[in-house]
DNA sequence: CTGTTATCAACAACCATTGTCGAACAACAA
DNA sequence: TTGTTGTTCGACAATGGTTGTTGATAACAG
């Protein structure tokens, strides 16, 4: 996404006000590679603006998304993540803790093979590599995780109910 | 996933009972290419078992997931989907209506380039092609959708609040 | 047949996210 | 420096998807 200064101009052009809260969020997101959730942004923002509200964070995040300044990612980790990097890239997702890392790689030949479109008008392709991050592969030799995606919400197999 | 008959055996082996409800869900899922949500399974199940509960559907679906008989997919469409096809394949996702279609294609060279693992122990790669299905591309020439993923929950830009 | 387990119904709780409302306030153009 | 207007806050309710709970009933499996 663009720099806080540029965003200031863009907001003004749209007739939107540039409040300290918004500027704070601009700064937090700028060059941020951590794909923070709304709640993560909120936590950081509170450090310098203790009275900022979660509602305002969501509001501004959505404003930025509607302007196309951040990408909204739902990688199945339970909450939506915001990515200020607008360039084409893919993701590594930890099935343990939900961490997301960028993967700047190109995969030539990554398009729907002819005749398999099934009526779809296909836009972008995103690749998600799922696995365990360094911390989680150390911490847990058990719990290899669900085979596919999943937000870690699989019922804890609590048989014997009732 | 395996046939209803095989699943019956597998459940018994685990000391689980094979109830009509479970068998019903086995049948609904078997060779089902629609990636149904739990609610979709529930709707079909009720057609032949009007008294089945949503709770039981979730329960059985999670049982099957924990056995590795179905894949749990969170494609950012708002609810989790269940895929009985355990083979390697990818997906087409409609950003309009959330429909999911299988894409049986192989993408050779789809692995994390050396040195870009960032500490991850990478397992599978899933490719999501986002676009519009035939129905949605006819129905909506407006609303091209959010650039990235997103469950269509972006706030409806209702300015002038307060 | 009998003991164990699954299911039901009905409800509450959870989480991420959005809506709402009034009051206070601050950005910014005049 | 003002006034207008948009923004924020706080506090709470509501949504939708999913899971927990409970007691009673029903059904599987040995």
* Whole-structure pTM value: 0.83
Contact A126, A162 (CB under 8 A): no
What's the pLDDT score for residue B38?
A: 96
Whole-angstrom distance, CA of residue A77 vs CA of residue A93: 8
Long-range CB pairs of A103-110 (<8 Å, 24+ gap) are A103/A127, A103/A129, A103/B112, A103/B116, A103/B118, A104/B116, A105/B112, A105/B113, A105/B116, A107/B107, A107/B109, A107/B110, A108/B109, A109/B107, A109/B108, A109/B109, A110/B107, A110/B110, A110/B127
Return mean pLDDT, chain B. 84
Q: 3-state SS string over chain A?
A: CCCHHHHHHHHHHCCCCCCHHHHHHHHHHCCCCCCCEHHHHHHHHHHHCCCCCHHHHHHHHHHHHHCCCCEEECCCCCCCEEECCCCCCEEEEECCCCCEEEECCCCCCCCCCCCCCCCCEEEEEEEEEEEECHHHHHHCCCCCCCCCCCCCCCCCCCCCCC
Percentage with pLDDT > 70 across chain B: 86
pLDDT at A124: 85
Scan for tokens 């986002």, then name that residue: B130
Q: Does residue B96 register a pLDDT over 90?
A: no
State the pLDDT at residue B140.
58
Contact of B61 with B38, CB cutoff 8 Å: yes
Paired residues of B150 in beta bridges = none
Q: What is the spatial distance between Cα A106 and Cα A128, in angstroms, rounded to a whole number? A: 13
The pLDDT of residue A140 is 58
Question: Which of 66-125 (A) contact B at CB < 8 A?
Answer: 66, 68, 71-76, 80, 83, 92, 94-95, 101, 103-105, 107-110, 112-113, 116-125
pLDDT at B158: 38
Helices and strands, number each (H, E), in chain B: 5, 5
DSSP state of B79: S
Task: Indicate whether B154 pLDDT > 70.
Answer: no
Give the separation between CA B41 and CA B26, rounded to whole angstroms: 10
CA angle A72, A115, B97 (to 5 degrees): 35
Answer yes or no: is pLDDT of B50 > 70: yes
Tens of pLDDT along chain A (162 residues)?
999 999 999 999 999 999 999 999 999 999 899 999 999 999 999 999 999 999 999 999 999 999 999 999 988 888 999 999 988 899 999 888 888 999 999 998 899 999 999 999 998 899 999 999 888 887 755 433 333 333 333 333 334 333
Chain A residues in contact with B17 (beta carbon < 8 A): none
Separation in Å, CA of A133 to nearest CA in chain B: 4
B67 touches strand D (CB under 7 A): no
Tell me: pLDDT of B129 over 70: yes
For residue B143, is pLDDT > 50?
no
DSSP code of B148? S
């Amino acid at each position: 996404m663009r720099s806080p200064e540029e965003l200031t101009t863009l907001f003004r052009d749209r007739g939107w006000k540039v409040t300290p809260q918004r500027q704070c969020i601009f700064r937090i997101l700028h060059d941020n590679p951590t794909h923070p959730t709304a709640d993560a942004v909120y936590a950081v923002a509170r450090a310098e603006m203790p009275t900022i509200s979660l509602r305002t964070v969501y509001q501004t995040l959505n404003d930025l998304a509607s302007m196309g300044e951040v990408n909204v990612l739902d990688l199945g980790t339970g909450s939506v993540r915001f990515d200020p990097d607008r360039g084409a890239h893919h993701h590594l997702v930890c099935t343990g803790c939900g961490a997301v890392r960028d993967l700047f790689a190109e995969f030539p030949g990554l398009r729907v093979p002819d005749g398999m479109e099934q009526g779809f008008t296909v836009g972008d392709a995103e690749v998600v590599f799922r696995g365990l991050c360094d911390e989680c592969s150390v911490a847990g030799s058990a719990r290899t995780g669900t085979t596919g995606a999943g937000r870690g919400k699989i019922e804890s197999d609590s048989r014997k109910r009732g």
